[in-house]
C-alpha cells in the first residue's frame, strides 16, 4: 500500500513534496478554481526526478478526485455561455494532445517537455502582464469576447493538459477577463477540469502511465485531499474579490517564471 520511492530520493523529500502537492491541488481547486494547482507540478517533480510519465500518471487520479470533491462545493455554479465552447475546444485539444503523446514515445520526450514548459510559461506570463492594468482600473482584454476565443482557449487547454496537467493558468486568466463573480468563476473552472481530466484517462491508460503501480503510489495521499479542499473552501469565503485576483496573478506569474527558468 505504500509508494515506491525512486532511487536517490529520500523518503522525507518524497512524502513532503508529494503530500504538499496533494494539499495544494485540493486547496487550489476548492478555493481558487485550480489556477494555482500547477504549483503541484514542480513539487512532484522534485520527488520523482527524471520520471515525468510516472509523475503525470500519479497526479491524474489525484486531480480527478480533487475535482470531484471541489465540485460538491460549486454544484451548477458555472457559466454555460463560456463552458460549452471551452469544452468543445478542449475535446479537439485532447485528441491532438493524445496523438502527440503517442508520437513522443518515439522521439525526444524530455526535449519536447522542456519546449512545452517554455511555451506554457511564456503564454501565462504574457497573459499576466496584459491583465496587470486591470488591477488599477484600466482593464485590457487579452482575447476578444465571443465563442471563437472560448474555442481557442479550450483547444489549447485540452492539448496542454493532456501533455502536462499544466493548463490551469491558461483557462483561469481567460475567465478572469470575463469578470465573472468569484463563485461562478471557480465553479466553471472546477467543472471544466473535471471533464477534461476524466477524458484524459483512456490515453494515460493506453500509454501505461496509469496502472496498478501508479494508483498504489498515489493512494496514501487520499486523506490529504479533503483537508486541502476544506481549507480551500474556507479561504474562498474569506478572501475578498481583489486580493483573490491578485493571488491568482502572483501565483501564475511565479509558476510561469519557474517553468521558463526550469
Domain ranges of the chain: 11-261
The residue-averaged pLDDT of 252-261 equals 72
Asked whether the predicted pLDDT for residue 68 surpasses 80, the reply is yes
Cell representation of residue 193: 477540469
Q: Are 143 and 127 in contact (CB under 8 A)?
A: no
Distance between CA atoms of residues 27 and 11, nearest Å: 24
At residue 205, the pLDDT reads 94
- CA-based R_g, the chain, Å: 17
Cell representation of residue 191: 467543472
Distance between CA atoms of residues 9 and 7, nearest Å: 6
Helix, strand, coil tally for the chain in percent (to 5)? 80, 0, 20
At residue 243, the pLDDT reads 72
Comparing 70-74, 129-133, 175-179, 214-218, the range with the smallest average pLDDT is 129-133
Amino acid at each position: 500500500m505504500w509508494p515506491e520511492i525512486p532511487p536517490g530520493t529520500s523518503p522525507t523529500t518524497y512524502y513532503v513534496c508529494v503530500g504538499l502537492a496533494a494539499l495544494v491541488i485540493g486547496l487550489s481547486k476548492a478555493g481558487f478554481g485550480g489556477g494555482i494547482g500547477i504549483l503541484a507540478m514542480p513539487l512532484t517533480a522534485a520527488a520523482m526526478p527524471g520520471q515525468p510519465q510516472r509523475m503525470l500518471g500519479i497526479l491524474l487520479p489525484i486531480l480527478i478526485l480533487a475535482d470531484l470533491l471541489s465540485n460538491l462545493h460549486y454544484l451548477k455554479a458555472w457559466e454555460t455561455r463560456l463552458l460549452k465552447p471551452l469544452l468543445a475546444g478542449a475535446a479537439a485539444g485532447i485528441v491532438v494532445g493524445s496523438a502527440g503523446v503517442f508520437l513522443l514515445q518515439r522521439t525526444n520526450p524530455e526535449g519536447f517537455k522542456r519546449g512545452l514548459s517554455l511555451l506554457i510559461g511564456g503564454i501565462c506570463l504574457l497573459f499576466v502582464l496584459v491583465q496587470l492594468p486591470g488591477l488599477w482600473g484600466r482593464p485590457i482584454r487579452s482575447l476578444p469576447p465571443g465563442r471563437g476565443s472560448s474555442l481557442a482557449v479550450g483547444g489549447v487547454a485540452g492539448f496542454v493538459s493532456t501533455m502536462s496537467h499544466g493548463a490551469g493558468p491558461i483557462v483561469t486568466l481567460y475567465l478572469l477577463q470575463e469578470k465573472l463573480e468569484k463563485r461562478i468563476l471557480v465553479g466553471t473552472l472546477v467543472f471544466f477540469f473535471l471533464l477534461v481530466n476524466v477524458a484524459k484517462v483512456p490515453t494515460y491508460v493506453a500509454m501505461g502511465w496509469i496502472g496498478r503501480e501508479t494508483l498504489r503510489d498515489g493512494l496514501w495521499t487520499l486523506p490529504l485531499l479533503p483537508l486541502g479542499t476544506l481549507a480551500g473552501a474556507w479561504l474562498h469565503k474569506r478572501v475578498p474579490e481583489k486580493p483573490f485576483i491578485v493571488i491568482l496573478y502572483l501565483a501564475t506569474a511565479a509558476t510561469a517564471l519557474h517553468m521558463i527558468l526550469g
